[in-house]
């Protein structure tokens, strides 16, 4: 019988995960299907709670279900436990297991696109804009990668404080500094890496109001927004001779370890796949 995997969200029709995973299934000749299922938020606890009966061998989870899916898991790895959210589910002997590949995807794309980020004179400090679920996965990935000081700038200061306090418990040797988004510019001269995890700069949203001119030379600017592929932030970074890293790679690289989990092959993020997703986004 053909194994079924799907991405679960609400809404879910914007998701490019079916496109990505179907490309890999074809490429590696695996007899499986990858679809998309829209599950209403009020039905989600029950749906994830009875996952073994849904006819799927695994799933990706997207907005707004990452925490509900976390709650339904019987066993979690350490990363998922720290984040309180999962984006990848699978069954093991009938038990639901979950992890998050968002942080690994973020880091894999950074290493692939801007490997020199670690050698930067200010690589010991990074500035993360935003304090939502994506920011959590990224702050965790940066701490794991050894970034000593992580400044978290958010419009709602309280959320930045929550993340900082949460991760300080797990990484006592690191410094997590919560600041107001309006003051983010003050910290630019001290960091080798700037990451935008807010929705600002996304098509239909206002751009960030941040002058990148005070970032150190050759600093890396990573925007996880990928619609448009070159956000105003990345365009500014390019114009200033900084190193821009777009958000599409994170989407592709977070998918790869999930695919490996279900099908046993770590698939390659190829230029052809990237172009296919870009063409689809432009459609």
Catalytic residues: 66
Residue 155 touching ligand ATR (CB under 6 A): yes
Query: For 200, phi and psi rounded to 5 degrees?
Result: -70, 135
Provide the 3-class DSSP secondary structure of residue 101: coil
Tell me the β-bridge partners of 125: 149
Using the contact rule CB under 6 A, the part of the chain among 51-59, 115-123, 129-137, 161-169 near ligand ATR is: 129-137
Tell me the β-bridge partners of 99: 88
Least CB distance to ligand ATR at residue 205 (A): 7
- Which residue in the set 154, 220, 231, 254 belongs to the binding site for ligand ATR (CB under 6 A)? 154
**Which residues, numbered 162-221, are part of the site for ligand ATR (CB under 6 A)?**
181, 197-200
Nearest residue to 196 (alpha-carbon basis) of 245, 242, 162: 245
Task: Find all residues with CB under 8 Å of 28, minimum gap 6, and list them.
Answer: 263, 265, 267
Least CB distance to ligand ATR at residue 182 (A): 9
Of 48 and 106, the one with the shorter C-beta distance to ligand ATR is 106
Handedness of CA 268, 272, 278, 281 (dihedral sign): negative
- Which residue in the set 159, 166, 177, 261 belongs to the binding site for ligand ATR (CB under 6 A)? 159
d(CA 221, CA 196): 8
Least CB distance to ligand ATR at residue 221 (A): 17
Residue 61 touching ligand ATR (CB under 6 A): no
Q: Which residues contribute to the site for ligand ATR (CB under 6 A)? A: 130-135, 154-156, 159, 181, 197-200
């Amino acid at each position: 019988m053909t194994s079924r995997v799907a991405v679960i969200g609400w809404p879910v029709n914007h998701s490019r995960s079916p496109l990505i995973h179907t490309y890999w299934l074809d490429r590696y000749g695996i007899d499986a299907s990858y679809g998309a299922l829209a599950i209403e938020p009020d039905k989600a606890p029950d749906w994830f709670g009875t996952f073994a009966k849904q006819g799927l061998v695994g799933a990706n989870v997207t907005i707004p279900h990452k925490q509900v899916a976390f709650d339904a898991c019987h066993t979690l790895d350490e990363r998922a436990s720290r984040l309180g959210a999962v984006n990848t589910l699978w069954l093991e002997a009938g038990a639901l297991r979950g992890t998050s590949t968002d942080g690994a995807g973020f880091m894999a794309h950074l290493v692939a696109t801007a490997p020199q980020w670690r050698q930067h004179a200010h690589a010991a400090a990074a500035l993360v804009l935003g304090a939502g679920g994506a920011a959590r996965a990224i702050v965790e990935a940066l701490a794991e990668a050894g970034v000593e000081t992580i400044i978290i700038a958010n419009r709602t200061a309280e959320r930045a404080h929550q993340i900082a306090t949460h991760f300080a418990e797990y990484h006592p040797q690191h410094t997590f500094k919560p600041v107001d988004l309006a003051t983010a510019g003050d910290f630019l001269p001290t960091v080798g890496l700037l990451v935008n995890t807010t929705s600002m700069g996304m098509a239909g949203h206002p751009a960030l109001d941040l002058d990148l001119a005070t970032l150190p030379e050759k600093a890396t600017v990573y925007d996880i927004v990928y619609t448009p592929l070159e956000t105003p932030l990345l365009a500014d970074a390019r114009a200033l001779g900084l190193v821009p890293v777009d958000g599409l790679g994170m989407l592709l690289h977070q998918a790869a370890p999930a695919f490996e989990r279900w099908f046993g092959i770590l698939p390659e993020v190829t230029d052809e796949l990237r172009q296919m997703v870009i063409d689809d986004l432009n459609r």
